[in-house]
Amino acid sequence: MDYEQIRYDVADNIATITLNRPDQLNAFTGRMMAEMIDAFDQSDADDDVRAVIVTGEGRGFCAGADLSGGGETFDSDAQRAPREAASGVPRDGGGLLTLRIFESLKPVIAAINGPAVGVGITMTLPMDIRLAADDAKIGFVFAKRGLVPEAASSWFLPRAVGVSRAMEWVATGRVFPATEALEAGLVRSIHPKAELLDVARALGREIAENTAPVSVALSRQMLWRMLGADHPMEAHKIDSRAIHTRGSSPDVREGVMSFLEKRPASYPMKVSEGMPDWFPWWQDRPFE
């Protein structure tokens, strides 16, 4: 796919996805959604990519949905949006994106470099680490537009900050500073805008230089999917399978020997061909 509304770059084992509509504060469109999904397909398929950073070009991260369609912007009938055959319901584009990010085999870091409103913030919720510029503004403004939260954020947001804080932000629709997001645990840390990408890249390099790619891919899915488990036994089942298969792997032998020999590890296994035969262990959920 030729990208028109994002940039995709790989350097130092880190893929950077940059939302690239700066004159519109990187407002979200169907084209941007498709390009971002394609970029995550690329990052998963590329063994040289060990982490993904998502950021915005210019002074904004993402100002939410592009409202140039006026009052019919969110009218799926007026927009003639395609409908799922099984349900007859048009699918939410933000949700298609966040479900794809949820499936990522590489850890994802959000570098929120400016305003992140509506889908501009809900798209970051399935990302693993969120960093924000000190002047970033955030808002779950859906009720102010007559809408409801989208992008599966009714699942992601309460898990990130608790249902009480999530409902406060959604019910008021207010735009709040990065300091409030930090206090609530929505973002990991706040940085001067000029330093934000450097911090994100340092995190990406820490992952790339110190950990086994297959272990990180498995761990990411284990942690996310156990958020919905109804008993710790579900985690024990997967832990046991993972410890069994990884324990006899070349990666573990290298990890242990490099520690004993006091040298950097060089893990031989690749995500593209090294995932265990029991992965994935879940059944994909249909849209009904």
Residue 5 is classified by DSSP as: S
CA torsion angle 193 194 195 197 (round to 10): 80
Cα(73)–Cα(71) distance, integer angstroms? 6
| pLDDT reported for residue 85 | 67
CB 136 within 8 A of CB 111: no
Note whether residue 33 is domain-resident: yes
**Beta pairing class for 129-133 and 189-191:** parallel
Residue 117 is classified by DSSP as: E
Candidates 47, 49, 57; CA nearest to 15 is 49
**Beta pairing class for 108-112 and 51-56:** parallel
- What mean pLDDT is predicted for residues 37-46? 98
- What mean pLDDT is predicted for residues 53-59? 98
| Helices of type H across the chain | 30-45, 93-102, 119-122, 153-161, 163-172, 178-184, 193-210, 213-226, 232-247, 250-260, 271-274
The answer to whether residues 103 and 183 belong to one domain is yes
Q: In terms of residue numbers, what domain contains 258?
A: 211-274
The answer to whether residues 147 and 112 belong to one domain is yes
The answer to whether residues 216 and 203 belong to one domain is no
pLDDT band for position 288 (50/70/90)? confident
The answer to whether residues 45 and 88 belong to one domain is yes
The answer to whether residues 147 and 127 belong to one domain is yes
Q: Select from 160, 188, 208 the last residue of a domain.
A: 208
Q: Is the Cα torsion angle 216, 190, 186, 39 positive or negative in sign?
A: negative
Q: Select from 178, 193, 208 the last residue of a domain.
A: 208
The answer to whether residues 164 and 224 belong to one domain is no
Cα(234)–Cα(108) distance, integer angstroms? 25
**The residue count for the chain:** 288
Burial class (CB in 10 A: 0-12, 13-18, 19+), 4: exposed
Cα(32)–Cα(20) distance, integer angstroms? 9
C-alpha distances (whole Å) from 286 to each of 122, 141, 145, 226 are 22, 28, 29, 19
- What mean pLDDT is predicted for residues 158-170? 98
Q: What is the edge-to-edge ordering of all strands in the sheet holding 189-191?
A: 6-11, 14-19, 51-56, 108-112, 129-133, 189-191
Note whether residue 220 is domain-resident: yes
57-113 pLDDT tens trace: 999 999 998 877 675 567 566 666 666 666 778 899 999 999 999 999 999 999 999
Note whether residue 285 is domain-resident: no
| pLDDT reported for residue 73 | 63
The answer to whether residues 221 and 175 belong to one domain is no
The answer to whether residues 127 and 74 belong to one domain is yes
Note whether residue 288 is domain-resident: no
The answer to whether residues 82 and 163 belong to one domain is yes
Cα(193)–Cα(276) distance, integer angstroms? 41
The answer to whether residues 86 and 150 belong to one domain is yes
Note whether residue 74 is domain-resident: yes
Long-range contact list for 219-228, CB < 8 A, 24+ apart? 220/104, 220/105, 220/106, 220/107, 220/128, 221/105, 221/279, 221/280, 224/102, 224/126, 225/282, 227/159
User: If you average pLDDT over every residue of the chain, what do you get?
Assistant: 95
Report how many domains make up the chain. Answer: 2
Q: Select from 208, 236, 262 the last residue of a domain.
A: 208
Note whether residue 268 is domain-resident: yes
The answer to whether residues 174 and 256 belong to one domain is no
The answer to whether residues 242 and 191 belong to one domain is no
Note whether residue 282 is domain-resident: no
Note whether residue 1 is domain-resident: no
CATH code for position 186: 3.90.226.10
